[in-house]
Amino acid sequence: MREAHWVHLPELRAILALLEGEEGRTRIVGGLVRDTILDLPHAVSDIDIATELLPNDVTERAREAGIAVYPTGIDHGTVTLRHGTVVAEVTTLRQDVETDGRHAIVRFGTDWVADASRRDFTLNALYADMDGALFDPLGGLGDCIDARVRFIGDPAQRIAEDGLRVYRFFRFSASHGRETFDPDGLEACAAVVGKLGHLSAERIGHEIKRMLGLPHVASTLRKMVQIGILDLPETVVAALRSYEWQVGEPVLSARLALILEDADAGELQARWRLSNEDIGSATNLRAAADLVARMRLHEAVYRYPGLAKDALDVAAVRAGWGEAGKMAVREKLIAVEERDFPLTGDDLVGHGLPPGPALGRELKRLERLWIESEFALDRDELLSKVEKT
């Protein structure tokens, strides 16, 4: 592992130092350890810490040190600490006693291997202390380096404990597995297709949205469609794949815009519990791409500022433009500068038009003339074209 990057995070060091002591050990676990090993970025607002200390002890120590404490999951031993930009979920070591498939019944313990064994994948069961010393009870380091996303123990059992792990398996296979799939994991996922109805749309949507933000995910989505865990038409899967081939840095809104090609925006928003912002930017991008495809470039740039590049990417995939065709449109698009419409309603009032709906319509007509002129008409020229009815 490279030098652990939390060495440079004083707030995290402070949290770890606070939780060190004779009463028990404390280690970072999960995403931050995994991503540090792979030299990948990891949000400091999403840090997991495992400790032998009991939740009350964690709470007391943090409070005394003036660190904000949130009892986010006190029943299963989790308190969240916020110190500066660092947000850490501190969970007391635990072992599952039994589970009903959705909720684990846990008791606290001091057994680190047992704590590791109740997690999902080996690459998430890696622990490190403040100085970066690694604790790897289940071979996660090797899997991490070999880009292998392997369920811990029996995949079917892990999935029975939490069905969301099916989606997590695919997400991690895309982000950390180079889009290859561990055969045992894949088989276990395929075996529960149609039996995950109890999972909330919220949790599934959260995973899908994270996937759609990854640099490479098209092959993973195709695999999910093949086994029946994801419902997307073949045309959309193919579009997502060609988008990924063509574009250096794929973005969520463009992928959603391509999916919208074959889905209703409201239905898609509900299916994956997308925010208004997510669905709104995808809808705008789709509309911008429509304009680009029809070569109404000035209108695209004017109505959807800042979206030209992504709109071109989406339009190119949908229209099947080759690199040369896309390049030609790109050159034209780059030449179009973003501009504000030079007239306002007040200008028309000043020009003698009475305020009211007719004025609004006239303003829209002039706006269209201005766009069609490719922004060539200036304010005076536009005013000279005002029709007083």
Q: Footprint of ligand CTP on this chain (CB under 6 A)?
A: 30-31, 46, 48, 119-120, 124, 162, 164-165, 168
Q: Closest separation between CB of residue 120 and ligand CTP, Å? A: 4
**Least Cβ distance, residue 169 to ligand CTP (angstroms):** 10
The C-alpha atoms of residue 277 and residue 201 are separated, in whole angstroms, by 18
Q: How far is the CB of 53 from ligand CTP (least distance, A)?
A: 18
- How many CB atoms neighbour CB 275 within 10 A? 11
- Tokens 């088989």 belong to residue: 187
Q: Pick from 238, 253, 329, 342: which is nearest to 291 by CA?
A: 329
Q: At its nearest, how many Å lie between ligand CTP and the CB of residue 86?
A: 14
Residue with Cβ nearer ligand CTP (175 or 219): 175
- Give, in order, the Cα–Cα distances in Å from 151 to each of 108, 126, 140, 164, 170: 23, 13, 10, 13, 12
Q: Which two tokens stand for residue 15?
A: 């949290």
Q: Which residue's CB is nearer to ligand CTP, number 94 or number 286? A: 94
Query: Taking the complex as a whole, how short is the minimal distance between the CB of residue 236 and ligand CTP, in angstroms?
Result: 25
Q: What is the dihedral of CA 224, 228, 231, 236, to 10 degrees?
A: 50
Q: How far is the CB of 112 from ligand CTP (least distance, A)?
A: 13
Between 181 and 302, name the residue whose CB sits nearer to ligand CTP. Answer: 181
Residues 6+ apart with CB under 8 A from 145: 37, 38
Nearer to ligand CTP by Cβ, of 67 and 164: the residue is: 164
Distance between CA atoms of residues 259 and 7, nearest Å: 42
Pick 168 or 318: Cβ nearer ligand CTP: 168
> Left, alpha or beta for 9 (phi > 0: left; psi -120 to 50: alpha)?
beta
Pick 145 or 369: Cβ nearer ligand CTP: 145
